[in-house]
Structure 1
Amino acid sequence: MANERLIGKNVVITGASGGIGAEMARLCAEAGARLVLMARSVDKLEILKEELQTRFGVEVLVYQLDVSDTNAIKVVFADVLQSLGHIDVLVNNAGFGIFREAHEASIEEIKSMFEVNVVGLLACTSMVLPVMRERRFGHIINIASQAGKMATPKSSVYSATKHAVLGYSNSLRMELADLGIYVTTVNPGPIATNFFNIADEKGTYLKNISRWVLQPEYVARQVVGRMLTKTREINLPRWMNAASIFYTLFPRVVERVGKRAFNKK
């Protein structure tokens, strides 16, 4: 069932050229939202725009944007706000990871992950907050990860970026609690997207965990179904989130018992 709350609403999605970003765009378009899609691959965005306008007859704006470029973020979001007046929902979906042991991660890789996953997310959010606060309405959805709750070997830097996203989101949620603005974090486990083309160069991790990999359509449906609702977190799959909670309570036990599984990367 389509989310009727989205009819006529302005929804911005970063990293929208593929994976769960593109799937969320399809579901939002089906629900009657006006879409603003952003990604580095503008060619893919144009193809998706044509599909959504043809299938659903909705207005779709596309912008080429690398969220590691904070100056570009200012220009693009200023243009969106000039064109539409306001943004109802911002989905900070752009992000990437590289699985390496800490001593193998280069400074360039570390900086890139933080620039995209953390600084870019904060910069995009900062651009929509003033108008959302003025209107006392809006929803910020930050795509984080179960890795932000439970770090594992070879994901030290990636996990650190997602820990940062969770910390920022939790603080922001409290700041906006009395203004009618919702903040939701989405914490999925592994998803079958191009993410692993970069993160898992050898392909061994994805192969080892294939039975637990989430499908992007499923994740997108969970997110879009909760847009413009007071949802604190979306944790997928539930059993993995239960493991994260158990880890918080009994970290030594989990690290000892789960050692073999954690080292499948």
Structure 2
Amino acid sequence: MRKIAVVTGGVSGIGKAICQELIARHIFVIIADIQDHEGRVLEAELNKDIANVKFVHLNVTDYKNVTSVIHDVFEEFHRIDYLFNNAGIAMYGEMGEMTIEDWKEIMAINLWGVIYGTQIGYPLMKKQGFGHIVNTSSAAGLGPSPFSTAYATTKHAVIGLTTSLHYEAEEFGIKVSTLCPTFVDTPIFDNAKAIHMDKSIITKQLKQQKMISPQRIAKMAIEGVHQNKPIICPMPMRKTLDVVFTIFPFLHKALMRMVCKVSRNARLT
């Protein structure tokens, strides 16, 4: 019987690449996204030769919508093998210039979207006795990220949720992992919300970093899932973070101060 995966935010970026990688491994994918037109186009593209995917509208901030989508998938296919809670946004700005509405916006998508998906999918996987939940965090969730404080907050929380549930879920045959991408060449940078900052300067700085393709991070994600890793992160970055933060704290401080300086140069007057 063909395995079934649900991927939120599956129309673009890492989500789209994960969908394509899953299809290559003969897994049927439910592409769940708020972008209806783009989703229908992708559905037609990926179903060109054989039925590989089904697109469904999903707003991850709407608990009833998330409940309906996941339960409908379970009722139709009688199983959910993989649930990728991947949808997310980026946001730049000094915390002192953010509003509570800014916080609510990013928390609703990046954190509550993951909580909703996990909270709804987990009992169904307990019922069937198997399944793997994969929550997308970020390397920003593994350490400080000045001028992306709200974004980092959500990603730290996702790591805490996922790594804790990783062990809690073992008894029920369920696996849980968090994906922590680094600099991936996706639209998230262009679509990010910048608060009193010149986003073009920030984007230019970010894209000077060595970018990983969405396809490469998707392959890493699926390989990490098969190995049941609690945290899936490009190893060079993970090792670098461990070394800088733990062994050379003075380098860590210098790096964070440099990030602050560069970011303040992007502030709008």
Q: TM-score, normalised by structure 1?
A: 0.90
**How many angstroms apart in 2 are the aligned matches of 1:22 and 1:191?**
13
Instruction: Answer yes or no: is 1:206 the counterpart of 2:199.
Output: no
1:131 maps to which of 109, 113, 124? 124
Aligned residue for 1:98? Answer: 91
Counterparts of 1:28-177 in structure 2, within 5 Å, are: 28-55=22-49, 57-177=50-170
Aligned residue for 1:217? Answer: 215
Instruction: Answer yes or no: is 1:26 the counterpart of 2:26.
Output: no
SS across alignment from 1:212: coil
Instruction: State the 1:252 CA deviation.
Output: 4.5
Report the more deviating stretch, 220-229 or 190-199: 220-229
**How many angstroms apart in 2 are the aligned matches of 1:251 and 1:81?**
48
Q: 1:211 to 1:89 in 2, by over 3 A?
A: same
Q: Residue 34 of structure 2 contacts residue 59 of structure 2 at CA under 8 Å; is this kept in 1?
A: yes
1:256 maps to which of 236, 250, 253? 253
**How many angstroms apart in 1 are the aligned matches of 2:140 and 2:74?**
33
Which residue type is aligned with residue 130 of structure 1?
A: P
Q: Residue 33 of structure 1 contacts residue 58 of structure 1 at CA under 8 Å; is this kept in 2?
A: no
Q: Residue 162 of structure 2 contacts residue 230 of structure 2 at CA under 8 Å; is this kept in 1?
A: no
Which residue type is aligned with residue 236 of structure 2?
A: W
Q: Residue 29 of structure 1 contacts residue 58 of structure 1 at CA under 8 Å; is this kept in 2?
A: no
The count of residues paired between Structure 1 and Structure 2 equals 257
**How many angstroms apart in 2 are the aligned matches of 1:140 and 1:147?**
20
Instruction: Answer yes or no: is 1:12 the counterpart of 2:6.
Output: yes
Instruction: State the 1:228 CA deviation.
Output: 4.0
Question: RMSD of the TM alignment (CA)?
Answer: 1.9
Aligned residue for 2:171? Answer: 178
Q: Residue 182 of structure 1 contacts residue 228 of structure 1 at CA under 8 Å; is this kept in 2?
A: no
Q: Residue 138 of structure 1 contacts residue 228 of structure 1 at CA under 8 Å; is this kept in 2?
A: no
Which residue type is aligned with residue 219 of structure 1?
A: I
Instruction: Answer yes or no: is 1:243 the counterpart of 2:240.
Output: yes
Q: Residue 65 of structure 1 contacts residue 72 of structure 1 at CA under 8 Å; is this kept in 2?
A: yes
Which residue type is aligned with residue 190 of structure 1?
A: F
Q: 1:174 to 1:130 in 2, by over 3 A?
A: same
Q: Residue 13 of structure 1 contacts residue 92 of structure 1 at CA under 8 Å; is this kept in 2?
A: yes
Instruction: State the 1:261 CA deviation.
Output: 4.0
**How many angstroms apart in 2 are the aligned matches of 1:58 and 1:261?**
50
Q: TM-score, normalised by structure 2?
A: 0.89
**How many angstroms apart in 1 are the aligned matches of 2:244 and 2:148?**
16
SS across alignment from 1:66: coil
**How many angstroms apart in 1 are the aligned matches of 2:231 and 2:253?**
28
Instruction: State the 1:260 CA deviation.
Output: 5.0
Q: Residue 163 of structure 2 contacts residue 231 of structure 2 at CA under 8 Å; is this kept in 1?
A: no
Which residue type is aligned with residue 224 of structure 1?
A: I
SS across alignment from 1:262: helix
**How many angstroms apart in 2 are the aligned matches of 1:51 and 1:198?**
24
Instruction: State the 1:194 CA deviation.
Output: 1.1
Q: Residue 150 of structure 1 contacts residue 247 of structure 1 at CA under 8 Å; is this kept in 2?
A: no
**How many angstroms apart in 2 are the aligned matches of 1:84 and 1:76?**
12
Q: Residue 149 of structure 1 contacts residue 163 of structure 1 at CA under 8 Å; is this kept in 2?
A: yes
**How many angstroms apart in 1 are the aligned matches of 2:216 and 2:97?**
34
